[in-house]
A and B are shown apart, each in its own frame.
Chain A
Amino acid sequence: MVYILATTISTYLISRIISNIQIKQADYFKNNKGTIDKEDLKKYKANMKSQQKRWMATCLLINFGILAVLKYTDFSISNINFVIHLFNPEREFSYLNLAIPLGISFYTFQSMGYLIDIYREKYSYEKNIFKFGLFISYFPQLIQGPISRFDDLKKTMFEEHSYNQRSISLGFQRVLWGFFKKLVIADRLLVAVKTIVGSPDEYTGVYVLLGMLFYGIELYTDFSGGIDITIGISEMLGINLKENFNRPFFSKSIAEYWRRWHITLGTWFKDYMFYPISISKPVLKLAKKSRERFGNSFGKRVPVYISTIVIWFTTGIWHGAAWNFAVWGLLNAVIILASHECTPLYTRFHTKFHVEHTFSFRLFQVARTFWLMAFLRTFDLYRGVGTTFKMYGSVFGDFNVSELFNGGLLNLGLSVADYIIIVLSVTVLVTVSLLQRSGGVRERLMKKPVAVRYCTNFVLFLSILIFGAYGVGYNASQFIYSQF
């Protein structure tokens, strides 16, 4: 509570100061139009910009500072201890075990996005601190996003809302769909994922692949299910939030996958980190020098490479203060850059073989992206760089599919009935995703007779109630992304 209050107050006050400087500057220009020479104007403008920059830097420092201290202190201590142990195994710093406030990564990014937008004069600052506080602390999205922009949320959040039966129905359906994904699929798969990950020495080879497959589906249904609930609740309240997913498992490349998965985080990094880093003075200077020294082709790549590596490293540690997340982030950067470098090769291949638009090739691309991402996600799954590489090794050295069907599948904490439920519900999920390609399923459902709508909602509700993996026997976890 204290932290979110600190972020709200500091961001509100500093964005107000920055806005006032901007107003003062505009007034100055207006009042001195034609009477002041160009040089003085430039000087004045630079002075004003520098003041704004200083305030913005202060606010960024305070808020990212809070985030860094709370989230990364113990991670830093563990790294320092690792180095100290090399020289003296007896000595080490003790850990602080600081409590991390709920959704700190989400509200910090959201408020800092707002601050940067104010600095960039994208829109004017919110005068009412309570409205601004609501934007930062809007509970449904505080837990795991989406990371909203003020200009998107402002209108829908603060406008007068009248009772809207349609919005309530649509929102309720979305909430049900979210719970279906979370409770019927994600939390059921969680049991098997935990078993596989819990005994890495026992579950090697084909089980690692199974773990990757299950974790991919679990993570997607857990996270997107949570987002569905958030968006659904908001819709019922008349607030429209940005979509955070766009059927990412249908992506044909990793770059595309990241445009369709956790969209609001991706666009945040793109708008507030990738572009500013790419066009920052030091990077442009380095690019210029590289061009002079290594040629044009190399030099023009420098800003893209630096920005990509920096944002993916940051994305990695945003997900968790551990090296496995950092390696995961960097490997994403490597694959995206490698894929970018190979584009001419792909183009030549497509021109020669004309397979680009065939169904089987697209299916291959989708499967390739899914498994590539599943391999990367293994760092998150096993939460250790060493273990992950060991598990990779076992996939190639200790692979026996028949193990699964000789009772192995039933040793993972799931019964035959559970597998049937998983297969059926994933089939429903894929079908709905395919239908979504030609428009919203809920909107189409709204056009159907009331009886069909009621029945669909009720069947969904009953499925959750009966087949949901909750209560005694299940240790229903909280949403995975709420810990980030």
Chain B
Amino acid sequence: MKKKIIINLAVFLIIIVILALVQNLLMPKYMSSIFEGNLVEEYYNNEKDNDVIFIGDCEVYSNISPITLWENYGITSFIRGSAEQLIWQSYYLLEETLTYEKPEVVVFNVLSMKSSEPHKEAFNRLTLDRMKLSKSKIGAINASMLEDEEFITYLFPILRYHSRWNELTGEDFKYLLSKEKKSHNGFLMRSDVKPVSYVPEGKKLPDYRFSENCYNYLDRITKLCKDNNIKLILMKAPSVYPYWYEEWDQQMVEYAKENDLTYINFLDYVDEIGIDHNTDTYDGGLHLNLAGAEKLTKYFGEILSKNFNLEDRRADENLKKIWNKKIDFYNDMKQHQQEELEEYGYLKSYGAVKPEEGK
């Protein structure tokens, strides 16, 4: 009887392992393009001792560099950003993050206040697929699903990706068990330049008021931070578009005032930061490039260390060791990207570094 139970248990485990492997094989790896697909997952392999956690969409993972923050101010940070991250996804990612660590400061980029509904399954997938199973993930799935999506396909992504069996490439097998690191504590590096040539004016909107749903999640983020004794900063990155309306800005100013929060619209400080729209963006002003991100980070770091009393931890030997490795990886990628730009005139592999360095 005992033997039978052991055999059944072993068979069950083997089945689970095979299914997990097959599922992993069929899921997209995002190793040669759409690196945004790796951002949420990379947090889990990172040490959970961050002074600052950034949450939000591309305006955080493209515009803020945690390595610069460490190098200049000794502040440890991680960006829990993802493409088109919706405010409820930010909330649930923060909720999940707080189960691992309690940062001093949380920074939320407010651009997602404009989106009251999920728009595309592809973006949901980039944020939710690789999130670890937890109460927060379930909440995020329920809040994010479009009408024709099914909950179970988020719990068992094989049900969504099974038809990729005829699209599998060497990449899928190569990265079946472990993947290369693509971000620098959630920052996606881009060294190329595409100057701002034209700034489209914002179209007139019928209603500028942010939706109740967004306010509800912003309230929840605020409460979550207050309950955990975390300082919350609302930021708007200095991207020239999507257009950030004065009416939107005003609502954020009022919200911050009502809730005793700091709100910084970096669009108002472009000159002070030193951002040059001819050299500091890689896509005509939508996102900052590496040079722009470093400038913004230095400026923001000053505020964080002075106004929020974040301690300079560069003297901590343990941290120093960890962060030196990160700096090496950062500099290597920076160099590779420069080399690519010189050789091809554009980023061919986005500076993908050798696997051993990226792990």
State the A residues within 8 Å of B (CB): 415, 417-418, 450, 454, 458, 462, 465-474
Which residues of B155-207 have CB atoms within 8 Å of chain A's CB atoms?
Answer: 158-160, 162-163, 165-166
In the complex, which of the residues A415, A417, A458, A465 contacts B162, with contact meaning CB atoms closer than 8 Å? A465
Min C-beta distance of A136 to chain B, whole Å: 32
Min C-beta distance of A148 to chain B, whole Å: 32
Bound together, the chains give a CA A462 to CA B19 distance in angstroms of 8
CB within 8 Å for A471 and B162 given contacts A454-B11, A458-B15, A466-B26: yes
CB within 8 Å for A415 and B159 given contacts A458-B15, A466-B22, A471-B153: no
Please give, as numbers and ranges, the residues of chain A lying within 8 Å of B160 by CB-CB distance.
471-472
Bound together, the chains give a CA A417 to CA B159 distance in angstroms of 19
Docked-complex contact A466 and B165, CB < 8 angstroms:
yes
In the complex, which of the residues A417, A468, A471 contacts B166, with contact meaning CB atoms closer than 8 Å? A417
Docked-complex contact A471 and B163, CB < 8 angstroms:
yes
Bound together, the chains give a CA A418 to CA B163 distance in angstroms of 10
Please give, as numbers and ranges, the residues of chain B lying within 8 Å of A465 by CB-CB distance.
19, 22, 158-159, 162
In the complex, which of the residues A450, A458, A462, A473 contacts B163, with contact meaning CB atoms closer than 8 Å? A473
State the B residues within 8 Å of A (CB): 7, 11, 15, 18-19, 22, 26, 121, 150, 153, 158-160, 162-163, 165-166
Please give, as numbers and ranges, the residues of chain A lying within 8 Å of B150 by CB-CB distance.
471
> What are 30 A-to-B residue pairs whose CB atoms are below 8 Å?
A417-B166, A418-B166, A450-B7, A458-B15, A458-B18, A462-B18, A462-B19, A462-B22, A465-B19, A465-B22, A465-B158, A465-B159, A465-B162, A466-B26, A466-B158, A466-B162, A466-B165, A467-B162, A467-B165, A468-B162, A469-B163, A470-B159, A471-B150, A471-B159, A471-B160, A471-B162, A472-B121, A472-B160, A472-B163, A473-B163
Most chain B beta-carbon contacts within 10 A, residue among A462, A465, A467, A468: A465
Please give, as numbers and ranges, the residues of chain B lying within 8 Å of A466 by CB-CB distance.
22, 26, 158, 162, 165
Interface of B: prevailing SS:
helix
Most chain A beta-carbon contacts within 10 A, residue among B15, B121, B150: B15
Please give, as numbers and ranges, the residues of chain B lying within 8 Å of A462 by CB-CB distance.
18-19, 22
Please give, as numbers and ranges, the residues of chain A lying within 8 Å of B162 by CB-CB distance.
465-468, 470-471
Residue of B nearest to A458 (CB): B15
Min C-beta distance of A284 to chain B, whole Å: 59
Please give, as numbers and ranges, the residues of chain A lying within 8 Å of B158 by CB-CB distance.
465-466
Bound together, the chains give a CA A231 to CA B140 distance in angstroms of 39
Bound together, the chains give a CA A450 to CA B121 distance in angstroms of 42
Min C-beta distance of B235 to chain A, whole Å: 35
Min C-beta distance of A459 to chain B, whole Å: 11
Bound together, the chains give a CA A462 to CA B166 distance in angstroms of 15
Min C-beta distance of B168 to chain A, whole Å: 11
Bound together, the chains give a CA A414 to CA B354 distance in angstroms of 39
Min C-beta distance of B15 to chain A, whole Å: 6
Bound together, the chains give a CA A64 to CA B216 distance in angstroms of 56
Please give, as numbers and ranges, the residues of chain A lying within 8 Å of B15 by CB-CB distance.
458
Please give, as numbers and ranges, the residues of chain A lying within 8 Å of B19 by CB-CB distance.
462, 465
Bound together, the chains give a CA A472 to CA B160 distance in angstroms of 7
Please give, as numbers and ranges, the residues of chain A lying within 8 Å of B166 by CB-CB distance.
415, 417-418
Please give, as numbers and ranges, the residues of chain B lying within 8 Å of A417 by CB-CB distance.
165-166
Bound together, the chains give a CA A458 to CA B17 distance in angstroms of 13
Please give, as numbers and ranges, the residues of chain A lying within 8 Å of B11 by CB-CB distance.
454
3 tightest CB-CB pairs across the interface, nearest first? Answer: A417-B166, A466-B162, A466-B165
Min C-beta distance of A477 to chain B, whole Å: 15
Min C-beta distance of A169 to chain B, whole Å: 13
Min C-beta distance of B295 to chain A, whole Å: 42
Please give, as numbers and ranges, the residues of chain A lying within 8 Å of B7 by CB-CB distance.
450
Residue of A nearest to B149 (CB): A472
Bound together, the chains give a CA A294 to CA B279 distance in angstroms of 103
Other 6 A-B pairs with CB < 8 A, given A466-B158, A471-B159: A462-B18, A462-B22, A465-B22, A467-B165, A469-B163, A471-B150
Bound together, the chains give a CA A458 to CA B22 distance in angstroms of 13
Bound together, the chains give a CA A470 to CA B153 distance in angstroms of 11
Min C-beta distance of B158 to chain A, whole Å: 6
Please give, as numbers and ranges, the residues of chain B lying within 8 Å of A470 by CB-CB distance.
159, 162
Bound together, the chains give a CA A472 to CA B7 distance in angstroms of 37
Residue of A nearest to B158 (CB): A465
Bound together, the chains give a CA A472 to CA B124 distance in angstroms of 14
Min C-beta distance of B59 to chain A, whole Å: 29
Bound together, the chains give a CA A470 to CA B166 distance in angstroms of 15
Bound together, the chains give a CA A447 to CA B150 distance in angstroms of 40
Bound together, the chains give a CA A48 to CA B115 distance in angstroms of 76
Bound together, the chains give a CA A395 to CA B322 distance in angstroms of 73
Please give, as numbers and ranges, the residues of chain A lying within 8 Å of B165 by CB-CB distance.
417, 466-467
Bound together, the chains give a CA A462 to CA B159 distance in angstroms of 11
Please give, as numbers and ranges, the residues of chain A lying within 8 Å of B159 by CB-CB distance.
465, 470-471
Please give, as numbers and ranges, the residues of chain B lying within 8 Å of A469 by CB-CB distance.
163
Residue of B nearest to A416 (CB): B166
Min C-beta distance of A182 to chain B, whole Å: 15
Please give, as numbers and ranges, the residues of chain A lying within 8 Å of B18 by CB-CB distance.
458, 462
Bound together, the chains give a CA A462 to CA B26 distance in angstroms of 13
Please give, as numbers and ranges, the residues of chain B lying within 8 Å of A474 by CB-CB distance.
163
Min C-beta distance of B125 to chain A, whole Å: 10
Most chain A beta-carbon contacts within 10 A, residue among B11, B158, B163: B163
Please give, as numbers and ranges, the residues of chain A lying within 8 Å of B153 by CB-CB distance.
471
Please give, as numbers and ranges, the residues of chain B lying within 8 Å of A418 by CB-CB distance.
166
Residue of A nearest to B23 (CB): A465
Bound together, the chains give a CA A474 to CA B160 distance in angstroms of 11
Bound together, the chains give a CA A138 to CA B42 distance in angstroms of 50
Bound together, the chains give a CA A472 to CA B121 distance in angstroms of 11
Please give, as numbers and ranges, the residues of chain B lying within 8 Å of A467 by CB-CB distance.
162, 165
Min C-beta distance of A51 to chain B, whole Å: 56
Bound together, the chains give a CA A295 to CA B234 distance in angstroms of 100
Min C-beta distance of B127 to chain A, whole Å: 17
Please give, as numbers and ranges, the residues of chain B lying within 8 Å of A415 by CB-CB distance.
166
Residue of B nearest to A464 (CB): B162
Bound together, the chains give a CA A292 to CA B22 distance in angstroms of 76
Residue of A nearest to B153 (CB): A471
Please give, as numbers and ranges, the residues of chain B lying within 8 Å of A472 by CB-CB distance.
121, 160, 163
Min C-beta distance of A448 to chain B, whole Å: 15
Min C-beta distance of A238 to chain B, whole Å: 22
Bound together, the chains give a CA A434 to CA B170 distance in angstroms of 39
Residue of A nearest to B156 (CB): A465
Residue of B nearest to A450 (CB): B7
Bound together, the chains give a CA A389 to CA B352 distance in angstroms of 62
Min C-beta distance of B199 to chain A, whole Å: 37
Bound together, the chains give a CA A466 to CA B159 distance in angstroms of 8
Min C-beta distance of A27 to chain B, whole Å: 58
Bound together, the chains give a CA A412 to CA B150 distance in angstroms of 27
Please give, as numbers and ranges, the residues of chain B lying within 8 Å of A458 by CB-CB distance.
15, 18
Bound together, the chains give a CA A458 to CA B19 distance in angstroms of 10
Bound together, the chains give a CA A467 to CA B160 distance in angstroms of 12
Residue of A nearest to B121 (CB): A472
Residue of A nearest to B163 (CB): A473
Bound together, the chains give a CA A110 to CA B195 distance in angstroms of 75
Min C-beta distance of B26 to chain A, whole Å: 7
Please give, as numbers and ranges, the residues of chain B lying within 8 Å of A450 by CB-CB distance.
7
Please give, as numbers and ranges, the residues of chain B lying within 8 Å of A473 by CB-CB distance.
163
Min C-beta distance of B159 to chain A, whole Å: 6
Bound together, the chains give a CA A468 to CA B160 distance in angstroms of 11
Bound together, the chains give a CA A469 to CA B166 distance in angstroms of 13
Min C-beta distance of A472 to chain B, whole Å: 7
Residue of A nearest to B162 (CB): A466
Most chain A beta-carbon contacts within 10 A, residue among B15, B26, B166: B166
Residue of A nearest to B4 (CB): A450
Bound together, the chains give a CA A465 to CA B18 distance in angstroms of 13
Bound together, the chains give a CA A471 to CA B154 distance in angstroms of 12
